[in-house]
Copies of this chain bind each other. A is one copy, B any other.
Amino acid sequence: MSAGWLRVVGNGPAGPDWVTPETTATLAQATDLVGYGPYLTRVDNPGARHHASDNREELARAQHALDMARDGGRVVVVSGGDPGVFAMAAAVMEALDADDEGRWATVDVTVEPGVSAMQAAAARLGAPLGNDFCVMSLSDNLKPWALVERRLRLAAEGDFAIALYNPISRARPWQLGAALDVLRTVHAPATPVILAKAVGRGGDESVRITTLADADPRDADMRTLVLVGASTTRAFRHGGVTRVYTPRSYPEVAGS
């Protein structure tokens, strides 16, 4: 039996232009691709077997991938974006951590970094994440909502810019509205808010720049990345384009 391996990769926020050469090479060597169906269809490897599963069965998917690698497969677990940011790398680590019997002790497991959706959205706008920032998922499938609200409040009190993943879905329709309400208790109404949908996906892309006062959860869907500014984040028009950035410096630091 040949030596199998498991690689956990992300194929970026959109097309191949944002996939690293490391990951492109890994995907080409795969015998088995494991992940959410829409991510697998973007992979250019006609010989690989596809093991598509629903986006919520992450631990079972990780265990299945480890079994196939132990049995000699060159198995690639595919997430969108970066596999380390609200994606499959944590699920694979959970499976290994629970492996008290050493079922997968000989499997070569590595994770490859990728470009995450917040980075594609930030680049479109300028540099909204150019200073200190927090990154949160609004999904309360695995996390108590009270913890989400507490983190939002502390992130706003710390004046971090905030990137919000999984803002809304059919099963979680009210969370984004509740999150914006928490942020409104701390931040000024004019704080910039960006709803960045499907950035990099051609005609599906839409980027809306608004404010905390006016942000409407109905303008977001499950492909939307939400960015909320810090108090210093600025939106401005220049040369016919609206840009958003968070400056590197603070007025109270002399010479900055």
Contact = CB atoms under 8 A, between A and B. Distances in A.
A234 interface: yes
Contact of A132 (B19, B97, B128, B134): B134
Contacts of A236: 96-97
Interface in A114-133: 114-116, 119-120, 122-124, 126-133
Contact of A116 (B119, B155, B243): B119
A70 to B, nearest CB: 11
A84 B130 contact: yes
Contacts of A114: 115, 119
A245 interface: yes
Interface residues of A, number: 85
Given A91-B248, A127-B93, A84 B119 contact: yes
Contacts of A250: 142-144, 147
A131 B132 CA distance: 17
**Tally of this chain's copies:** 2
Choose among A93, A110, A240 the residue with the greatest number of B CB atoms under 10 Å from its CB: A93
Nearest to A116: B119
B143 A253 contact: yes
Interface string A58-70: 1000000000000
A192 to B, nearest CB: 13
Interface stretch (A101-109, A171-179, A201-209): A101-109
A183 to B, nearest CB: 14
Nearest to A151: B158
A97 B104 CA distance: 54
A98 B54 CA distance: 48
Interface of A: 12-13, 16-22, 58, 82-87, 89-94, 96-97, 99, 102, 104-107, 109-116, 119-120, 122-124, 126-137, 140-144, 147, 150-151, 154-155, 157-160, 234, 236, 238-241, 243, 245-250, 252-253, 256
